[in-house]
Amino acid sequence: MKKIKIKVNGKVKTVLNNSKLSDLLNKLNIPIKKVAIELNREIVDKKKTSNIKLKKDDKIEIVHFIGGG
Amino acid sequence: MEGDNLKKDKLIIAKKKFDSRLIVGTGKYKSMSECANAIKLSGAEIVTVAVRRVNISNKNKPLLMDYIDPKKITYLPNTAGCFNSKDALRTLRLARNIGGWKLVKLEVLGDKTNLFPDMIETLKTTEVLAKEGFRVMVYCNDDPLMAKRLENSGADAIMPLAAPIGSGLGILNKINIQIIRKQTKLPLIIDAGLGQASDATIAMELGCDGVLVNTAIAKAKKPFEMALAFKNAVVAGRQSYNSGRIGKTLMGNPSSPIKGII
């Protein structure tokens, strides 16, 4: 299977072409209820991550709440 | 009894009622458990939180939500570190997407050293957020005209600084705060720059509805004791404000009766 490079939180990751966003989130052990996700600057509906296929050069941001003033 | 009125004296922000008038930040603590304990002692029901990237290389890193239950304590996502409207909007839209957070703290900074707010960007952003259904508590300068403009832009709470963020200088311009108090019915919360518990008392005595404190508690030598001190200081200040202080006179006025002196 062809592999593609994407960026997750600024870091380059290699994933299988056409793999799903939900696969990536599972692999990274992301607690989905406690995060928000952006794909190429668009907010992703967290219920639909299994419908989203990853493409070359996709930029994903996964954020959560941390301590702050 | 007179004192019973205190129980009814709630802080109301965006139609939500709170017993505590102390809002605390969750930054700068040595550990998450220290932060959680300080919050508990402060009695705060609202805490500010920042939105940042998940650490994808360390999967077992503890999460804030594991220490502070967002079902029990209201999370107030902030835009700390944002220097323009675009970044602030992006941050808060993401925050909302984490789990429905609509009540947010907007701060758009203008200068990296003094951390003063950029009020032009702040006004613009407030307007957009209000239109998108956010309930926005806005960090701002202690400028009555800007505070009025914010109110007209749809802010849900006006949060002027006491002094630069993290400076510990206390309330630098009491008169401006009093003018803002007089002109607005919106919740007025002193945000940033407090150094010690008595600063919070002064804020409350000026008629503010609450105070927001982070560094003064987190960086105190004994954060837990300082959390308690701030809790008590806010209560004392509010009680004092509600009690109606005496007037000021130049000369003395004896406390004991003159009549019957031997």
Q: Does B42 touch chain A (CB under 8 A)?
A: no
CATH number of A3-63: 3.10.20.30
Least confident of A32-41, B43-52, B94-103, B216-225: B94-103
Question: What's the whole-model pTM score?
Answer: 0.91
Least confident of A22-31, B156-165, B197-206: A22-31
Measured in degrees and rounded to the nearest 5, phi and psi for residue B241 equal -60, -45
Min Cα–Cα distance to chain B from A51, Å: 18
Share of chain A above pLDDT 70, in %: 100
Listed in sequence order, the residues at least 6 apart from B249 whose beta carbon sits closer than 8 Å to its beta carbon are: none
Chain B CB contacts of A36 under 8 Å are: 51, 94-98
Q: Is-contact B46 B37, C-beta < 8 A?
A: no
pLDDT of residue B123: 97
Min Cα–Cα distance to chain B from A6, Å: 14
Q: What is the ipTM of this complex?
A: 0.94
Q: How many CA atoms does the CB half-sphere of B262 hold within 13 Å?
A: 0
Q: How many CA atoms does the CB half-sphere of B14 hold within 13 Å?
A: 20
Chain A CB contacts of B96 under 8 Å are: 36
Q: Do A69 and B77 make contact, defined as CB atoms within 8 angstroms?
A: no
Among the listed residues B152, B144, B212, the one whose alpha carbon sits nearest the alpha carbon of residue B182 = B144
Walk me through the domains of chain B, giving residue ranges and CATH numbers.
24-243 (3.20.20.70)
pLDDT of residue B61: 76
pLDDT of residue B4: 58
Q: Any idea which residues of B carry the catalytic annotation? A: 105
Write the residue in A28, A37, A67 that is nearest to B29 by C-beta: A67
DSSP letters of B141-168? -S-HHHHHHHHHTT-SEEEE-SSSTT--
